[in-house]
Structure formats: structure tokens, C-alpha cells
Structure 1
Amino acid sequence: MAIGGRATNPVVAVVFVLSLWISAIPADAGDNNPVFQPCADTKIQRKDGFTFGIAFSDRDSFFFNGTQLSPCDSRLSLASKGAQLAVFRPKVDEISLLTINTTTSFAPVTSGGFMVVFAGRKYAARSFPIFVGNTSYVVTSFTLVLEFQKGTLQNLYWKRDGCASCSGKSNFVCLSKQDCAIKTSSCKGQGGSVDCSIGIQLTFSGTDKHYAVLNSWYEVSNLRQYSLYGLYSNLRDSLTSQYHNVF
């Protein structure tokens, strides 16, 4: 497996059965970050590319002796548990919409139903496992914040809007008063016609290696009452636009 023309870290290659598309690309102009492996350490500045991974498995797979480890840690033995991986390289401090195609061979339901975002080795950062889907419901819209201190990734946070984006819409179900979900039976590949691909709105906070403040999270924090895909009016055939025709 290669990312941006470079071999990935051997641990990643061993740990995962990779079946998702990879959107990491070679460095663009202004990108001075030479690290393309999600299981490697780096310091970033604004406008650099930053590579991280998203692992899909069941919740317990991300824990070893009661402690959550990075998916880069081989002690998790994720390969034997059918875990799968997506890798991205967005530009630092730009608001991005990441998508993971679930209309082909990949489905969160058959891959454990939870996902963890991760990057780094010595400074291994990982998000807590977040529910994506099971045989009853699928969550397709997420907001993720990458927090850096002096250019080193420290934390990855899932931000939830308490179902504000689907309030009053009968086609959605609010799970645990936190996440908007759609019935799994309505999704393509599960007997339905809706594209239930995963969309992750990505933002940044903290400081880069030159102490410049990363502001993209603050730029969208006041817009969280809107649907994730409502922020991207140029996207055609958005996921949420299909939900009005379901059930």
C-alpha cells in the first residue's frame, strides 16, 4: 500500500485489511510536511498537508487490557478482527469535507460499527471510538477537530450538535440525544436506495510550529446548527437531500 508515492508504515500495512479508497496525495505547493504516514510523528505549519488515518472496527477492538491504544499499536491485532482503514491528507487550517464511500464493498455495519481517528507514534493521538452504524441505524455526518500545540497533534475531538441539524425532520432518528441517524435498511447495499456514505467535516484548533493560531474550528463553531452538507452548497446530490424521499 502506498500513500502519496511513499510506502506506509509497516505497522499499518500489517494491522489493516485496506479496502477503502485513499485520498492522500503528494505535497502541493506550500506544503512543507514530508511525512505521509499516519503512524509517524511530524510538526506542521499552516497550509501544510497532514496525514491521518481512520480505523473501523467494533468498539472493544480499540482497547488492550482496558486501555485504549492507537490503531498503530500492533497489540490491538486489528487485522484478525476485520478492521478497515481510510487515510486522508487535508491542508492544515482549511475547513474540509472528507467522504468515505459506503456504496460499494465497505459498510460500517460489517466492519464493527465504530471508528477511531489517529496519527503519530511517539506522540500517538487517537479519538475515542464513535458509533457509525449497526443493523438498525447509520450515522453519516460528523464533525472532527484536530488540536495542535506548537505544531504537534495533541488531541482529536468529535463535536456533536445534539441533533440540532435534524430537529423536526421525520426522516431522521436522534440517537441518545446526540447523533442524527437514518435507518440502515434505507441505505444502498442494505436493501435501500439512499447513499449513506460517511461525511466528516474537519477543522483545526491550537497553534502550529511557528505559534500561529489555527482558526478553522472557530470559523464554523457558530454554524453547527446547520446540516453538515448545508455548509457545502456546491456539492451535488448531497446525502441529506435524499433523506426527504425515504420511508
Structure 2
Amino acid sequence: MYFGEEDEEIKATLMEQDPQVDLAVIRFEYAKYIQPLEFADSDQLKKGSFAIALGNPSGYYGSATFGIISYPKRYIEEDIDNDRIIDWEAEYIQHDVAINPGNSGGPLINLQGQIIGINTMKFVDEEIDNMGFSIPSNLVAQIVPLLEQGIKPQRPKLGVQILEIRSMNEEKRLSYNIPSDINYGLLVDSVEPNSPAGKANIKKGDIILYFNGVQIRYTHQLRNELNKLVNTSGKQIEIVVYRDGEEITLKAVF
């Protein structure tokens, strides 16, 4: 680990890392006190709020850049295992603060000096300018305690292929026999055997309306709720589905 102002390198030990969200926790000993930064509540971010990125872009130690929050909750599809199937819709903070190689892993802070996100990537294109993305602080605060214990986060899967009701046109709704009074939810197109969904008796043709008490309108909402179940074991979650003209409450175990 390198301290630029002192021009000093010290040994550090990797406790654990989570490549899916580009986070790692390291342990080191240092003679001087280092003031830790507090986490802010990233759910409270508003478009237009000021933000500052800290990092070492292109090796320029301790650089700071300034901008605003462009969109507090931006969801980006990700193929984690490179099988050309979307596995996740990760949540990011979109901002226009200038970030470059060397900013990744550095904090995005508010004007109170609190961490609102961890910078991780930006879009680069001749027609795109100032589109940076940070991991929300609330997600970081959830994952870091596990990494500190040397535990690699494990994210559960429900075990279904789904379609958004809201994105269906009339022809597709008719082909799937979606009732006219159902205008939200996720249609189950297939169920993996022995998955939490399969064991909970979720069936093809069911429409998931609620997951753990949260109304589900979009795919990313379901994935967000699953993301909250990191490293759970034996936790029972209620799932409300629409089937054959009625709502049924099922229980899945993760």
C-alpha cells in the first residue's frame, strides 16, 4: 500500500474481495492515525446534488474532481459468467464527476465529506462525455462487514426465467393469457428444478406480484431484493403470485 504524501510503501494483507461489485478489504498497520470517512445514506441522494471524486487518476496522487449526481439509481445489465445471459442488473450512482484509470476504488463523497459511493467505471465513447458510475454506499456498507471477516459474498438466485408484464405489448399479453386487470409483476416463463422457486412450488405461468412484502414491477426490483439476502442461510421469504385468478402466498427458503 502506498502513501503518496509520505512517499511510503507498507505491507497490506487482503482480507477478502468481491469482484462482482469491485470491492476489497485490506488490513495494514501504520504509525499515524488515519481519519476514516463515514458512509452517507445513498438512498437519500437527489439528482443535481454535488459530489467529489477522490483518487489517483493516471498516477496523480490525491486528485479531486467535482460534479453532480446525474441519476441516483441507475441499473445496468451484467453478464457475470460471460455466458451471454444477463445475470444481474447492478445498481449504480450515475454522475458527471471526472474519473479516469486510478479513480476506481476511490470514494465519491458529498460536501460533508461522507462517502456516497465507490467509483468503479465510466462509459467511454466519442459521443459520450462525463458518464461515471459508483457503487452506492449502502451496498458497500452491506458488503464490507462480510469482507472484513474473510467471507466472500454469495448471492442467492430464485431460479426462474421471467418477463416483465409492463413491457409486454397487447399481442404478447394475449399470447401469455395475461388478464387485463394485471398491469404489473413478473411472469414466470420457466422454473429450475430444486431451486428456491421450485421448492416453493412456483410454477410456469405464475405472475410474481410481491417479494418479501415489496411490490415487484421491474426485474431489477426482484434482483435488488435478492441482493439483500447475501450470505443468508435458511431465511424464509414470502412471495405472492397470481395464479388461476387469485393471489397465492408461497414461501421460499434461501
TM over 0.5: no
Report the TM-score, using the length of structure 2 for normalisation. Answer: 0.23
**Which protein has the bigger strand share?**
2
Larger radius of gyration between Structure 1 and Structure 2: 2
Report the TM-score, using the length of structure 1 for normalisation. Answer: 0.24
